[in-house]
């Protein structure tokens, strides 16, 4: 059993590295494309929200505040989208070789995580230019990254399971991502939203993760779930990622029995 598990771990590692290489195969800029896209989005939004709407002026270190939000959201968005097709795109492989189907989703999660870590390093460079020096508590960001990874993997498992049967899921998720992007406090401070609405937004794990990261790395003025939610609801955004992961694993395992027949 241990040998089998080690083989599957090795397979997951190899697939993750292969996805990473294939993603940039034939590209001159390579990994830089994963950096260029969020940077361009960041520059456009920075101009709009500091020069046009003048929202950023009320937030300490707004450029880094905004960039961190875009990078974290980019990881969530990209990972969930590429995980959706993990099973369908490997139909021939599933019919020829047996291995735990979950490997395909986890491998893509790891690939996206690698890119996310590299992008976070860029955020840290911006922090140095802004002369932002996080305290010792910044170490807790590692737990937030773990929470984020569990969340995106859980969502990826759900989407990949549903997409095998219902291809409309891709279009629905695309619309949902756009709506969720603006509903998440990436561009604006929660102080601009009515208190009840702001508290509702903080129930989202993505809002909680982004705001907690900002609090630990950039500014203590960042609104967090602990600050904004009543005690009875504080646990909600922190436990939802684990609930989503457990449900996603259950759904994926149940659906995987017929994957080879349905793709």
Matching residue, tokens 């969502």: 155
Q: How far apart are CA 115 and CA 53, in angstroms?
A: 31
Is 108 in contact with 83 (CB distance < 8 Å)?
yes
Quote the pLDDT of residue 4: 43
- What are the two backbone dihedrals, phi and then psi, of residue 44, each rounded to the nearest 5 degrees? -65, -50
Strand segments, DSSP code E, in the chain are: none
Quote the pLDDT of residue 8: 66
Other C-beta atoms within 10 Å of 161: how many? 26
Q: Among 153, 104, 78, 155, which residue's Cα sits nearest to residue 263?
A: 104
Rounding to the nearest 10 degrees, give the CA dihedral for residues 176, 242, 69, 200: 70
Q: pTM for the complete prediction?
A: 0.88
Q: What is the pLDDT along the chain (263 residues), one digit of tens a residue?
A: 344 455 567 777 777 777 777 766 665 556 676 777 788 888 888 888 877 777 766 788 889 999 999 999 999 999 999 899 888 887 777 777 777 888 888 888 888 888 898 889 889 989 998 889 888 989 999 999 999 999 999 999 999 999 998 999 999 999 999 999 999 999 888 877 777 788 889 999 999 999 999 999 998 888 889 989 988 999 999 999 999 999 999 999 998 888 877 66
Q: How far apart are CA 97 and CA 94, in angstroms?
A: 6
CA distances from 97 to 7, 90, 101, 102, 245 (A): 14, 11, 10, 14, 26
Is 217 in contact with 132 (CB distance < 8 Å)?
yes
Spell out a b/e string for 225-255, using b for 16 or more CB atoms within 10 Å of the CB, else e: beebbeeeebebbbebbeebbeebbebbeeb
């Amino acid at each position: 059993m241990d040998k089998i598990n080690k083989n599957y771990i090795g397979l997951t590692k190899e697939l993750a590295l292969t996805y990473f290489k294939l993603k940039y195969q034939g590209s001159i800029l390579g990994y830089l494309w994963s950096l260029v896209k969020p940077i361009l989005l960041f520059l456009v939004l920075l101009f709009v929200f500091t020069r046009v709407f003048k929202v950023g002026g009320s937030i300490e270190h707004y450029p880094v505040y905004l960039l961190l939000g875009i990078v974290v959201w980019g990881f969530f968005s990209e990972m969930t989208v590429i995980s959706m097709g993990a099973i369908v795109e490997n139909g021939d492989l599933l019919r020829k070789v047996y291995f735990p189907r979950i490997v395909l989703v986890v491998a893509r999660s790891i690939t996206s995580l690698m890119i996310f870590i590299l992008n976070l390093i860029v955020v840290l460079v911006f922090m140095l230019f802004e002369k932002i020096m996080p305290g010792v508590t910044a170490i807790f960001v590692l737990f937030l990254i773990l929470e984020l990874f569990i969340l995106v993997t859980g969502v990826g498992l759900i989407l990949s399971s549903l997409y095998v049967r219902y291809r409309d899921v891709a279009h629905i998720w695309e619309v949902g991502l756009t709506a969720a992007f603006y509903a998440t406090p990436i561009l604006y401070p929660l102080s601009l939203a009515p208190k009840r609405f702001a508290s509702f937004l903080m129930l989202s794990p993505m809002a909680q993760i982004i705001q907690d990261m900002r609090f630990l790395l950039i500014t203590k003025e960042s609104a967090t779930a602990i600050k904004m939610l009543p005690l009875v609801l504080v646990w909600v955004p922190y436990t939802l990622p684990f609930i989503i992961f457990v449900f996603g694993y259950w759904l994926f395992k149940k659906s995987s029995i017929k994957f080879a027949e349905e793709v």
